[in-house]
Amino acid sequence: MHKAGSLLQFHRLIEQARPPQRADRAAAGTLPTRAYRYCDAVTSAAGFGWWLFPPMDLQLIWDGHDIFWHFDGAPDWLPLSPSAQFPDFSQTFDSSAPATLHGCAPPFLTSLPEPGTLQIWTGLMARTAPDWSLLIRAPANLASPGGYSLYEGIVETDRWFGPLFTNLRLTQTHKPVYLRADFPFVQVQPLPRQAYADETLSSTTIVPSMAAMSDEDWDAYNESVVAPNQNPERGFGGYAVAARQRRHGVCPFSKSKATG
């Protein structure tokens, strides 16, 4: 049952997994200083949601046909055919789950029919408040270690309570891909279901040319782009300053020492 007053509730089933963490507006310190200071669009995207991590250090390799995996303590590379449990998790699951669910532990890794693709479980499940879903995607503005790409998905976690996983496509062969338990693997972001409903996405108009733009459109362009650049004394990052002030309940047009 979803906890009243909470938008999102994570359930950690694999206790070795690092707990979810609020995504960092600096993208774990990797954003250029200028972007962090002056580009609110970039930092807002980087900090929107929560980071999830692999439940352990992991290596994957694809030979063009089969996928193999390895972890510290494994005797050798293990074939993924078609799925694998997290080490010792089946027994742990059965010791906590009701007897009717014994043997129903979710797999950690599952190979998919498409070449070089697999499903990876984060060790978590999640519940959201009614009418809220989770977008599961690669971390925003944080470069991946390389060798793979993630598919994005939207899960209606207010209705579906199951493993929070992602689908991964390996993009190189005959070379190990490393997933670190201390490096963000996916980012989950809350979405009101109305945001991606057909009626919302169909509610779109297009202004076909500059000739069709209104005086209000041109005034807005002047206010956003032209006028600030004609001010020789303007500071850097005017948009970022105004956005931060709005987030903190400060009117961006009030008397402030911040310039932009």
SS3 state of residue 156: coil
User: What pTM does this model have?
Assistant: 0.86
- Find tokens 């080490």 and name the residue: 87
CA distances for 98 relative to 9, 11, 86, 148, angstroms: 21, 17, 20, 37
The answer to whether position 106 is within a domain reads yes
Q: Is the separation of the CB atoms in 251 and 245 below 8 Å?
A: yes
The answer to whether position 122 is within a domain reads yes
- CATH code for the domain in which residue 174 is found: 2.70.40.10
* pLDDT number for residue 240: 59
CA atoms within 13 A on the CB side of 67: 28
The answer to whether position 212 is within a domain reads no
Residue 156 lies in domain:
8-200
Q: Count Cβ neighbours within 10 Å for each residue of 114-133 and write b for 16 or more, e otherwise.
A: eebbbbbbbbbbbbbbeebb
Divide the 260 residues of the chain into consecutive groups of 10 and give the mean pLDDT of each group.
82 97 95 90 96 98 97 96 96 98 98 97 98 98 94 97 97 97 97 97 96 97 90 67 61 41
Q: Is the separation of the CB atoms in 31 and 46 below 8 Å?
A: yes
How many independent structural domains does the chain possess? 1
The answer to whether position 178 is within a domain reads yes
Other Cβ atoms less than 10 A from the Cβ of 231: the count is: 11
The answer to whether position 33 is within a domain reads yes
The answer to whether position 113 is within a domain reads yes
The answer to whether position 233 is within a domain reads no
The answer to whether position 224 is within a domain reads no
* pLDDT number for residue 175: 96
* pLDDT number for residue 241: 59
> Using CA atoms, how far apart are residues 153 and 87, in angstroms rounded to an integer?
27
